[in-house]
Amino acid sequence: MTNGYFDGDNYFDGDNAVHYDRRSADRFRPEVLDPAVDLLEELAGDGAALEFAIGTGRVGLPLSQRGVPVTGIELSADMVAQLEAKPGSGAVPVTVGDMTSTIVDGEFSLVYLVYNTIVNPRSQEGQIATFANAAAHLSPGGRFVIETNISPVRQLPKGERFVPFNVTPGHIGIDELDIATQMGISHHTWIDGDRVHTIDFHYRFTWPSELDLMARLAGMSLENRWENWHRAPFTSDSETHISVWRKD
């Protein structure tokens, strides 16, 4: 069920769901995916895991195949259809709904949210609700894990607002940033032969300290923060972080 805290858009129906895996192919490479699954398996321990925004099952399916019971919540029914067409999907029940308020049965030792998806709710209230919903599903001592970028605002010269993050023959990606409102637009152009597809993702970027406060409001405390899934130290130069909060 959902009570409507989510204030972003569903960008992942139709064509975007069909082509999602191909456009995110680098994220499926073993050297990228395996360290994430390794760490999540360790954090889940003997308990069950809940993935917010499970998408097409990039992480949830291999984690389930490791023997961790995995449940998913996903906003896009079309993304769920892509997941359900894959081997092993029968072991991963998914509820269509938004991660800010959708409740599923069970108690979990791990709730996780990967690939920058915490920025999809476009208000601080929506992001706070995501933390509260994670905590509501966790058993005492359970962990909430987020993987997300550090906003590239420090790359902006004064007066500028555009930062390119990917320029390849098949994809051009440019972030448009508003520092005052913490709002961004991720402009994407995919080129496939003579076919060109463009989409703009609107989002609200966050800071690690802000996420820590959201966790505290939800009754969780920061346990670890690393730069990546390999547990490299998080520093002032880090462009991403993996943060782990533990339910008090």
Q: Are 171 and 206 in contact (CB under 8 A)?
A: no
* Amino acid present at 110: L
Query: Can you tell me the distance from the alpha carbon of 108 to that of 122, in angstroms, rounded to the nearest whole number?
Result: 26
Provide the pLDDT for residue 5: 52
Q: Are 113 and 99 in contact (CB under 8 A)?
A: yes
Query: Can you tell me the distance from the alpha carbon of 46 to that of 5, in angstroms, rounded to the nearest whole number?
Result: 31
Provide the pLDDT for residue 2: 36
Provide the pLDDT for residue 16: 86
Provide the pLDDT for residue 1: 31
Distances 60 to 128, 134, 236 between C-alpha atoms, Å: 23, 16, 31
Residue among 70, 62, 68 nearest 42 (CA): 68
Query: Can you tell me the distance from the alpha carbon of 31 to that of 175, in angstroms, rounded to the nearest whole number?
Result: 26
Domain spans of the chain? 15-151+206-247, 152-205
Query: Can you tell me the distance from the alpha carbon of 215 to that of 31, in angstroms, rounded to the nearest whole number?
Result: 30
DSSP code, position 151: P
Q: What is the pTM of this model?
A: 0.92
Strand 108-113 and strand 138-149: the pairing is parallel
pLDDT tens across 164-223, in order?
Answer: 999 999 999 999 999 999 999 999 998 988 889 898 999 999 999 999 999 999 999 999
Is there a common fold for 15-151+206-247 and 152-205? no
Provide the pLDDT for residue 197: 87
CATH of the domain spanning 152-205:
2.20.25.570
Q: Are 54 and 83 in contact (CB under 8 A)?
A: yes
Q: Are 28 and 21 in contact (CB under 8 A)?
A: yes
Q: Which residue's structure tokens are 């929506």?
A: 126
CATH of the domain spanning 15-151+206-247:
3.40.50.150
pLDDT < 70: residue spans in the chain? 1-9
Provide the pLDDT for residue 15: 84
First to last CA, the chain: 26
